[in-house]
Amino acid sequence: MANLSIEQRRAILTAVNEQLISGELILGQAVYKIRTELYDMSQGQYSRLIGLSEKTLRDIEKGNTDPKLSVLNKVFAPAGMKIIAYSK
């Protein structure tokens, strides 16, 4: 895990959230940033942490899959993030 202060972690998460909301990042890019910048983990390490296959994580990061909400929540859980479905 990256040796970051609480403030640095908060800044990374804030930036990821803001970039997701503004459309600057897609979900896979956000996962990549969290995995690399927040946790400094390889795909193998992070996939073991969250309980998904490395291939699934790789496909999510590359945007090559349309994962279920439950899978996305597994991927974002270590960062304290949750994806919710919104309907009007």
Domain containing residue 10: CATH number: 1.10.260
Query: Could you tell me if residue 85 is inside a domain?
Result: no
Nearest to 32 by CA among 87, 85, 75: 75
Give the number of domains in the chain: 1
Model pLDDT for residues 42-69, shown as the tens digit of each residue: 999 999 999 999 999 999 999 999 999 9
Is the overall model pTM greater than 0.85, yes or no? yes
CA distances to 7, 45, 73, 85 from 19, rounded to whole Å, are 18, 25, 18, 19
Q: What is the pLDDT of residue 11?
A: 96
Query: What confidence tier does 84 reach under pLDDT thresholds 50, 70, 90?
Result: confident
- Both tokens assigned to 76: 């974002």
Instruction: Let me know if residue 60 belongs to a domain.
Output: yes
The residue segments making up the domain with residue 56 are 6-79
Domain membership of residue 28 (yes or no) is yes
Residue 37 lies in a domain: yes
